[in-house]
Structures are given as C-alpha cells and as structure tokens.
Structure 1
Amino acid sequence: MTRDSPDAKNIALTFPVLGFKERARTLAMDQEESEVVTGRLKLVNASEIDVGVTEPCGGVAWSPCWFETDENGTFGVGPVLEGDYIVTMDRDDDGFDEYPSQTITVLADTAGNVTPSDIERIPPMFDIEFLLLDHDDQPVEGQNLSFSNQFSPITIDARDNGGGSYNIELPRDTWVVESILNDDYILYEEIDLQESISGLVLQYTESAWVNGTVMYDISDKPDEISQPFVNQAVFARWGGISESALTDDNGSFGMQIPVGAEINLTAYVVVGSQLAGENFFRPKRWH
C-alpha cells in the first residue's frame, strides 16, 4: 500500500510503528575530530534505493519521503510503517549518496526508536573525475564502470559526462573498478583512495578467457566415470581483485581476466568441503 492508494485513506493503525531518531556526524579520521552533518535525508524502500524522492515525510512517514536535520545534525522521523527501509543522504546533491544505512526492518510487533547504522560516523567523501581510454589511447564514452570494495555489498557506478570523462563520489577506502569493453579488452584496477585524486586515467587492457571444468576426484576409483560439479563457485584472484563464475551442467566455467595477471584460481566445492586450486601466470592471450 502506498500513500496514494485508495486503501490508504481513513485507516486505523492497529500495530506498533517505529521512529528514527539520531544525530548525523562525520567519522573522526586521523587527527580530525568528528563534525556535525546537516541537510536532507531520504527514507526509501530497501528494494527501491534509487527511486526519486519528492515528498516530505509527514506525521506518518510514507516511503519514499525526505526529512531535514536541524542545525545540530539531529533528526527524527516517524512513525514508520511495517517494511524494509534504507536512510540515505546526498549532502551536496550531486546524485551520489554520502550515506546509505544498512537495511532497517520494521515488523508489526516492533516499537520504539531505532538508530540508522553508522549515522554518527559518516566518512569523508571525495569527488573524482577521470578519463577512460581504450587500448589505442582513445577516449571511450558510454561505458558502465562499477566501483566496489570488500566491506560493502553495494557497488557504485560512475557517471558518464561524455567525451571519455566520468565522475564518481567515493569514501576513503580501497576500491576496485571494473568494466568490460568487449571480448578482447577489459578494465580491472585497484585504487587506494586516501585523499583527493586529480588527473586519474583508466585504460582498458588486453584480456583472455579462462575456461575449465570442475570434476569429482576419482583417482582412487579407477573403474568409475568422473562426474561434474554443477553450480559450484570458481574464484580467480589477483592482487586485491576477485572475479567469480559458476559451473554449468557439464561442470564447465569461463571468465574474462586481464592478460599479464598472476591468477590464483580456486574452486570451492560444497559437498565434503573440498578445495581445489591452481596458481598461474598468462603473459599473452590464449588461443
């Protein structure tokens, strides 16, 4: 049910509802003290985090809606109806959220106030503009570039400004950017973001396809026919970067990796907690 639904008029709430209340602050870094954060926050459904938000939260907070902190960074919103929510903040209104909370689940028997995760520890953010080149040093536009890190399940996509220029806003962390140009060229790069970066250039490099098969080990049963492991995860790791694939009905898998990378290839087999792996280096494309 939404705020505009005919069933949403003149109803009586017969179950407890939840309110959000806290103070927004920056994360204290090194010798810098935490600071109050003020501005607009948004309450959205967890399944629709990118939805447009145009309505303020009212006496009952119908998601999606927005609300403001006071001059001390303090805010309160609610009651909030049953559902799964995320609280976000885009302080400089550039389309990138400086703060997304973890999913907040409100059940019919939930009552009281809740603090959105880490709202008092919003990390410093860096606006990064970079140039994307192909293997011939020519600017490439219209590409999807995703930034991720090992601590967050959320990936952040860069914005295409045209002419090979892109921009993104990221917190301090080690990030992996990935993009596929075609079957022959790929981008995987690890970026240690500790301070503002200028003049960043990212470039697609030659790639190769790693193909293989994961089979049951029957070395001690010579009279049996080996069977494939189906729907099993295979991981390729190099540096701080990881890529994965699932085996098909024949136990086969394939993944695209950059040429020149030293790869640790590992298959995690669920049955029996078995582990199979290989380390290899490919300086040129496979044929």
Structure 2
Amino acid sequence: MTAKTVLLTGTSSGIGLAAAVAAAEAGWHVIATMRDTGRAGALRAAAGDRANLEIRQLDVTDPASVAACLAGLDRLDAVVNNAGAGHVGTLELESIDDVRAVMEVNFFGVLQVSKAALPLLRASGGRLVTVTSVGGVVGQPFNEAYCAAKFAVEGFMESLAPVAASQGVAVSVVEPAAVASEFVPNVGLADDAVAEAGPYGPALQTYLATIGNAFTAAQSSRDAAQSIIEVLTAERPPFRVQTSDRARTVVGLKLTDTDGSAVQAVTAGWIA
C-alpha cells in the first residue's frame, strides 16, 4: 500500500522540524517545506537518510510559491500548517503595517496553503491541521497582533470545519503553550525595546520576565509534535487539541470564562 503523503510548512526548526521527522518515522511520505531551504541542515541531520522525506521551498505569503510547491502532486492526504512568526509589541508603539505583516504570515499564509491544498484533500478524504497557539484562545499582553492572527485562524478553521467535513475533509487546530524552540528568539525584539517603550516600559519589562520564566519549563518540540501525529493518525480527529497540560489549563480557563473576568485577572498579572 502506498504511504500517505503529508505536507508540512515551517519545518526548518521547532515543532515543524520535529513533526516532519516524527511523521517520516511513522511511515508517511513527508513533504517538508520552508521559506529558505538554506536552513534545512538541522532537518536533514535529524531525519538522516530517510527516503520518505523530501524538502521543498515554500513561502506561505507568496501565492506563486505555494502553487509551485504543490504542482505535480497527484495525491495529498494531509496538510500541517505550522509556519508562523511571533511578534511582540503594542498598538500605540507600532504601525498598522506592522500588524498587517503579522497577519500576512500567521493568517493569510495559512489560508493560501489551505485553499491550494483543499482539492487534493477532498480527493483523498484527507486532513487539514493547523498549529495555532494558546494565544489563539487567550489574548496576551504585548501580543495583540500575534493573538489577533491566531484568533482569526481559530475562527476561520472552526467555521470551515463542518463545511470541509461535508466533503470528507477533517479540520483540526493544535494549540501549544510554551515550547522550547527558536520561536521566541526569532521574534526579533530589540535590546533597547523596554527603553524605547516609553510609558509601557515597566509593563513590557515585567511581561518579558514572566514569559522568560514560562519558557524555562517549556514543552519540548518533539513532545508538542506528537500531538500533531496523533491528529494525523486518529480514526476521528478532534477539532481542537492542546499539546500539554499547561495548554489545556490556559484554554480551559477561557472556554469557561463567560464574562472575561477570569482571563483578565490572569493576564493582568503578567504585566503588574
């Protein structure tokens, strides 16, 4: 029987890399994609000489790149939208173009890949999996743009799920909390960000310390990736999956907080 094929985005590091390797180990034919294939060294080292993992270039924000990556595929059984970029900032201190750039990668990039893949997924009765974040359920201080993008992804996929299911495609979102990866260092926050934050400086400094503490006990990328593999292989995958007990706690708080007071009490404490 021919191995099933899964395409993953954002596989140069972190959860994407770990998920690509785990899927290959589980017997999938893996198309591991990244914007810059010059950064594929870590994935190649982790995957070894596995013949069932191929690396392709894909910029999720470029429709031509998405089309070129999927060109020639006769079958696609699953897509894992993992590519994304963090962003720390607040509305008064950044431009609307900054916010648009965050949405372009984290929201519209997901839609570009998903739209292009859906005809193939319909044909195979496949699965559309998107890595979001607990930040797609609970808004986080100084993450307005990032959380807005992840909220948008969650809302879009929750709305799409029953429509896709009517065509035989299962839609799921996977929600990590803190994960030990290059995601936070890649946010690109300047060394003088606190000093440049003016009246927001003290709150930003406290927030960064809070987040730093959270990441000292972060889940490993490989552990988080196992949740993706479970969604890919489950007989009936759930719509929403958290990758850790911490993620389940954060998401559970929001889903039972009908007036928003419990969430605000928690997140206000991150900057107090």
TM above 0.5 = no
Normalised TM-score (structure 1)? 0.22
Normalised TM-score (structure 2)? 0.22
> Higher relative CO (CA 8 A, sep ≥ 6), structure 1 or 2?
2
Greater percentage in strand: 1
